[in-house]
Amino acid sequence: MGETQSSATFRVWRGDATGGGFCDYRTAVAPGMVVLDAIHQIQAEQANDLAVRWNCKAGKCGSCSAEVAGKPRLMCMTRLSELALEAPVTVEPMRAFPLVKDLVTDVSWNFRAKRTITPFTPRRPDAPDGTWRMQQADVDRVQEFRKCIECFLCQDVCHVLREHHLEEQFIGPRHFVYTAALEMHPLDVADRVPALKRSNGIGFCNITKCCTKVCPESITITDNAIIPLKERVVDEFYDPVGRLVKLFSRRQRP
């Protein structure tokens, strides 16, 4: 095996909440490999206890989020051929969340934040058999948001969380996407707008679009979810009459 051609160095963060640092591992690389393969190979051959989270290895579960060469990525969808392998490739945990160990972070706040959002609340069924009628076009409008795989990479890059740690006042881009999916759901009748303004802190978002750039599902988080939600907030709080009319017509829909 030609040593220089077929191996690369990975500078992997090792440590836990009490501290840690980067460790260099040299490992063989083969065509087609992704970063998660390299990490697994290092784990199997050199560091059995290297902690990493993953499930599907196909970009569908959102478990393997990390920062690769400084960028928030899914490790299973980042091919080595896209990276400069001459120098060590850094692989580190998402920095916005508390560290558990090595590449694994404590993302449980996201699950708690989601629970604070008013769940799906459908209008009364349209048909006597308890079912609804919806048009494909109305369904299509929200499908973009429902593609979310909850990788939390958008939460990781959002400065409101990453730098300012306003977790208690701000639910983050992932949950704006979730709220948008509910608010624009053809059957939903709940009103999440007051909460968006108050406890969910949508005002903290200053539309930097960093979240949109990292989303592996290419969800246009800022333009399609956050900005329309901000508009609803403006309508409701600064144009109460208009909002009432809208609300009324929404509840009347067949």
Partner 1 sequence: MADVETIAHDVLVIGAGGAGLRAAIAAAGRGVSVGMVCKSLLGKAHTVMAEGGIAAALGNVDDRDSWKVHFADTMRGGQYLNNWRMAELHAKEAPDRVRELEAWGALFDRTRDGRILQRNFGGHKYPRLAHVGDRTGLEMIRTLQDHGIHAGIDVHMECTVITLLKDGDRVAGALVYDRERGRFHVFRAKAVVLATGGIGRAYRITSNSWEYTGDGHALAYRAGAVLQDMEFVQFHPTGMVWPPSVRGILVTEGVRGEGGVLKNRDGRRFMFDDVPENYRNQTATDPDEGWRYTQGDKSARRPPELLTRDHVARCIVREVREGRGSPHGGVYLDIAWIRERLPNAADHIRKKLPSMYHQFKQLADIDITREPMEVGPTTHYIMGGIRVDGDSQMSTVPGLFAAGECAAGLHGANRLGGNSLSDLLVFGKRAGDHAADFASQHGAVTVDPCAVDAAARWALEPFARTDGEGPFAIQHALQETMQDLVGIVRREEEMQRALVALGALQARAARVAVDGNREYNPGWHTALDLHNLLTVAEAITRSAIDRRESRGGHFRDDHPAKDPAAGGYNTVVRRGPDGAMQLAREAIPPVPAELRAVLTEMG
Question: Contact, 139 vs 54, CB < 8 A?
Answer: no
Report angle CA 221, 224, 230 to the nearest 5 degrees: 95
Residues between 102 and 131 that touch ligand SF4 (CB under 6 A): none
Residues between 163 and 192 that touch ligand FES (CB under 6 A): none
Question: Contact, 75 vs 94, CB < 8 A?
Answer: no
Site string for ligand FES, 75-114 (x = CB under 6 A): -x--------------------------------------
Among 51, 61, 142, 189, binds ligand FES (CB under 6 A): 61
Would you give the distance in Å from CA 6 to the centre of its chain? 33
The residue among 90 and 179 lying less far from ligand SF4, judged by its C-beta, is: 179
CB of 237 to partner 1, least distance (A): 27
Asked if 55 touches ligand FES (CB under 6 A), the answer is yes
> Buried (b) or exposed (e) across 15-42, using 16+ Cβ within 10 A?
eeeeeeeebebebebeeebbbbbbbbbb
Neighbours of 57 (CB within 10 A): 17
Q: From 19, 168, 165, select the one nearest 97 (Cα to Cα).
A: 165
**What is the total count of residues that contact partner 1 (CB under 8 A)?**
62
Q: State the SS3 of 77-110.
A: HCEHHHCCCCCCEEEECCCCCCEEECCEECCHHH
Pairing of β 65-68 and β 89-92: antiparallel
DSSP label of 203: G
CB of 61 to ligand FES, least distance (A): 4
Asked if 233 touches ligand SF4 (CB under 6 A), the answer is no
The residue among 42 and 68 lying less far from ligand SF4, judged by its C-beta, is: 68
Question: Contact, 116 vs 171, CB < 8 A?
Answer: yes
Binding-site partner at residue 199 among ligand SF4, ligand FES, partner 1, none, CB < 5 to 8 Å by type: none
Binding-site partner at residue 104 among partner 1, ligand SF4, ligand FES, none, CB < 5 to 8 Å by type: partner 1
Dihedral, CA atoms, 168, 169, 172, 174, nearest 10 degrees? 70
The residue among 123 and 162 lying less far from ligand SF4, judged by its C-beta, is: 162
Asked if 209 touches ligand SF4 (CB under 6 A), the answer is yes
> Site residues (CB under 6 A) for ligand SF4?
62, 148-154, 157-158, 160, 173-174, 177, 205-211, 214-217, 219, 221-222, 226
> Site residues (CB under 8 A) for partner 1?
16, 30-34, 36-37, 43-44, 48-63, 77, 79, 81, 100-102, 104, 106-108, 111, 114-115, 119-120, 122, 125, 130-136, 139, 142-143, 146-147, 149-150, 182, 185-188
